Structure 1
């Protein structure tokens, strides 16, 4: 399509105003100061005009007529090239007319790199990714060489009368992180009436598109589609009516015979009328209780759950996640339950509902949260669990007013969670990978017994195999090997659990942007401190004076192995469980005999470094031989 162009902006990014006297085509280039909306993250760079070269690569004859060398000799780059936040972009905004499309020409010249293949960055126009990981080296084959790219943004993508141009680092593992921009040209394109000044000619005649006819066509198409859908729905309801069960009135709802899901459930209930699990509640006064064909989970009517939560009162909310809110519910018999209701705007929705329902219907374990029932009535997605009165493990580590847990209690909770994950990995016909192991998904009951929860992202695979899948999980806990390869294995859970172990030891968030950059990520900082022998300085001050040195050493060693960069170097969950039991027994023993605690002034590497799979010194072996005589033959369930 041919269009007329009208220049709206020419901007010399990072440099001074260029007057017509020094431009190759007598153009004027403004400085970017009034358009740069993130100057605090920007740094101007300039070189000699004579150092700029013009590329003849890829059949493109680039000359100074495109832009003078003074445009390419200046640029803006990221001020902090070691920034961790991937959404840190250099940004410029220009005001435009919303009713027009625009051609945007961006000028680039790598005058900041010392060698080729160092600079990669993304380009965005109004939040739309125009180029991913732009590599100037592959385009120009040399440094300080001019290059430009053209982008067209449609009028439908222009909001608030402005265009936002951004460059920023890609999500790649790079030794350096940077982005640059040398120049910007914004040109208005003629509209569908071949005009640069609205839809009226000089004599006042309207020459734009026939808006009325388009609107009528759209209304006609939408009306026809709605009529077809309504006819199909009426036909389906008529067929369902003809095939309705004889006792349909007992369900107190038309949905029992209109909706296929409820029809199947009703049929399933009828087949069990002679069993001990009668579909009619003994205490419900004739109220029907449906059972899932998947297992023994109770089907709840939505009205029951509304009563249990006081119509889902926000005062009853005890948690919230990607799937939706979790409410404290009180059933008619007085039982406290946790009710997780899917959010209408949830991006995870039905897939997580089905995954968690199918997973928990097949599994029963002391250290997995128990599913009591579900409701899929009236397009609702609700799961009902045992209520965990002490909430998530994280709340007892930091960020709340709970009394700090002792080291022994923390070990017992870690062991419980490890047993639950070990069961997932080995206790079923197919290995189940949780994919979202974190302290908020480890819940504590009234006796502080740990129970793994939230199986919406779980994946079943063949034992010890791997599966290609989209990367899902929580930032800070995510296995870097899984992130790089998209190959999911049991060892991905091992890495996440290793992060949990050090979150328990240090009682701090796994990602803390307010800390210095090298300390912001807990896993990276732990490995760095462990290598230089300073990990003991990171121990939670509430337990540092009570933790036994040998218990701490076994715990930290197995935790570090969980954080190995390659999954093949990580232990199995059975190995992790064994060493946590070992650490617990050493801690218990220290409370009965005089065993040294951690010396804060001593470097860890100045001590005897025992092997991971047992204590080798005679003193340690003698003190623990009785304690571990029953653990030598330990096997995970």
Structure 2
């Protein structure tokens, strides 16, 4: 009798998964049509059984602990013996279609950028679990979140990461018929592969700029990202444009230079929720110019560098000046393509 009950229960779960998959497939199709202008992108749809088999039933031993963030990551292997990374989302309420749209957008845009070296290579997805699952090719590389590795990284490596993430953002802004605004800049969303290449992940908060427009207005509830990555126009008015990403990238640059701990000391996370306290101190660049870099630069990084040469000091100063231009402290805010160009020029010869 117990065996019969278990069999019926298992059949019911499978039926519920199939129904859920069909309903969510319609939402994903809507996102693909909106984001991809109706163009076809190769996305493989996995069943729940496929995912469970590949990851040993999503067991703890397959969890990739260094990738935890806004989803839970697992390593696995397909029947073709190709290794994969599986991200199981868990934000929002999985039973409401409106909350699934963010996961669907992540999948849709991942399919658009999959061929670029600074994004993860998408294999497909599974829509049958309570929370959607996204599958990426692992290529037998180990990945780790940038925030967990930052204190171990050299100055040259940090500059390279900045250039690669700037390249990723510039690609989102220019590679498609309408600019894609990332607007979800967390340092936790940047993964580092064992080959040292930085990859930007999580497109759940991406927005498209309407044809012929330069910005889009969102309601406050739609605002995503951390406070220290938000420019005033975005935080106060809900206006999203390419400058939204440029500002957040400037903030990221300063974190790369100062380290997260020191960045928090300078600004204070809670203060950034109070508009009159949302100010970057201008004395940062002055301190570097006067040689007092130990007051600003990540001390862990300085320990690795030993004595800082005049050439490295100049690079740090240029890096900081560019970050200040990005956040609007020094004249006109540059486009991301210009930021990439200047970072490449600064790092040439490294």
TMscore range, shorter length: 0.7 to 0.9
8 Å Cα contact 2:285/2:317 also seen in 1: no
Give the count of matched residue pairs. 298
Contact 2:21-2:128 at 8 Å conserved across structures: no
- Given the superposition, is the C-alpha separation of residues 573 and 333 from structure 1 closer, same or farther in structure 2, using an over 3 Å criterion? same
Deviations 1:423-453 (A, max 9, x none): 0001111100001123211212221111111
Structure scoring higher RCO (CA < 8 A, sep ≥ 6) equals 2
Instruction: Name the residue aligned to 1:530.
Output: 284
Matched with 2:216 is: 467
Q: Does 1:539 align with 2:290?
A: no
CA spacing shift, 1:262–1:407, aligned 2, 3 Å: same
Quote the Cα distance in structure 1 between the aligned partners of 2:101 and 2:55: 25
Q: Counterpart of 1:552?
A: 316
Q: State how 1:178-217 maps to structure 2 within 5 Å.
A: none
Deviation sequence 1:466-505 (CA, Å, 0-9, x none): 1111322123222222101211011111111111111111
Q: Does 1:569 align with 2:320?
A: no
1:27-84 Cα deviation digits (max 9, x unpaired):
xxxxxxxxxxxxxxxxxxxxxxxxxxxxxxxxxxxxxxxxxxxxxxxxxxxxxxxxxx
SS in structure 1 opposite 2:283?
helix
- The match for 1:478 is 230
* Cα offset, 1:456, TM superposition: 0.5
TM-score by length of 1: 0.42
CA distance in 2, matches of 1:433, 1:505: 24
* Residue aligning to 2:260: 508
Superposed counterparts of 1:363-402, under 5 Å: 363=113, 364-377=115-128, 379-387=130-138, 389-398=142-151
**Cα 1:260/1:447, change in 2 over 3 Å:** closer
Q: CA distance change for structure 1 residues 563 and 263 in 2, over 3 Å: closer, same or farther?
A: closer
Q: Does 1:355 align with 2:105?
A: yes
Distance (whole Å) between structure 1 residues aligned to residue 188 and residue 327 of structure 2: 19
Secondary structure of the structure 2 residue equivalent to 1:326? strand
Whole-angstrom distance in 1 between the partners of 2:133 and 2:333: 37
Relative to structure 1, the CA distance from residue 264 to residue 466 in structure 2 (aligned partners, 3 Å threshold; closer, same or farther) is closer
Distance 1:505 1:414 in 2: 10
Say if 1:538 and 1:485 are closer, same or farther in 2 by CA, change over 3 A.
same
Q: Is the 8 A contact 1:551 1:582 kept in 2?
A: no
Q: Does 1:496 align with 2:248?
A: yes
Distance 1:384 1:464 in 2: 34
Take 1:488 and 1:439, find their aligned partners in 2: how far apart are those partners? 20
Higher strand share: 1
The alpha-carbon distance between structure 1 residues 371 and 509, as it changes in their structure 2 partners (threshold 3 A), is: farther
Corresponding residue SS for 1:311: coil
Matched, 1:432 2:180: yes
1:407 to 140, 152, 155: 155
CA separation in 1, counterparts of 2:327 and 2:239? 17
Deviates most, 473-482 or 428-437: 473-482
**Whole-angstrom distance in 1 between the partners of 2:298 and 2:263:** 16
Matching of residue 580 in structure 1 with residue 328 in structure 2 = no
C-alpha separation between the residues in 1 aligned to 2:224 and 2:19? 37
How far is the alpha carbon of 1:560 from its aligned partner? 0.9
C-alpha distance after superposition, 1:101-130 (max 9, x if no partner): xxxxxxxxxxxxxxxxxxxxxxxxxxxxxx
Q: What displacement does 1:361 show?
A: 2.0
Q: Please state whether the residue corresponding to 2:227 is helix, strand or coil.
A: coil
Quick one: which of 310, 326, 340 aligns to 2:56? Answer: 310
C-alpha separation in 2, matches of 1:540 and 1:258: 51
Equivalent-residue separation in structure 2 for 1:294 and 1:475 (angstroms): 36
- The secondary structure found in structure 1 opposite 2:42 is coil
Query: Cα offset for 1:366?
Result: 1.6
**Partner deviation per Cα, 1:510-567 (whole Å, 9 max, x = no partner):** 763xx4xx5425996853332643572311232453461221222111011111169x
C-alpha distance in 2 between matches for 1:443 and 1:257: 32
Calculate the TM-score normalised by the size of structure 2: 0.74
Q: 1:344 to 1:564 in 2, by over 3 A?
A: closer
**Aligned partners of 2:231 and 2:248 also within 8 Å:** yes
Instruction: For residues 551-603 of structure 1, give each alpha carbon's deviation from its aligned partner in whole angstroms, at most 9, with x where no partner exists.
Output: 1222111011111169x8311101111111122126x2xxxxxxxxxxxxxxx
Kindly indicate whether the alpha-carbon contact (under 8 Å) linking 1:477 and 1:510 is maintained by their aligned counterparts in 2. no
Matched position secondary structure for 1:451: strand
What residue in structure 2 maps to residue 68 of structure 1? none
8 Å Cα contact 2:146-2:190 kept in structure 1: yes
- How does 1:22-421 map onto structure 2 within 5 Å? 261=22, 294-315=40-61, 316-318=63-65, 319-322=67-70, 324-343=71-90, 346=93, 349-363=99-113, 364-377=115-128, 379-387=130-138, 389-398=142-151, 404-421=152-169
Superposition pairs of residues 8-23 of structure 1, within 5 angstroms: none
Name the one with the larger helix percent. 2
| Cα shift at 1:346 | 4.1
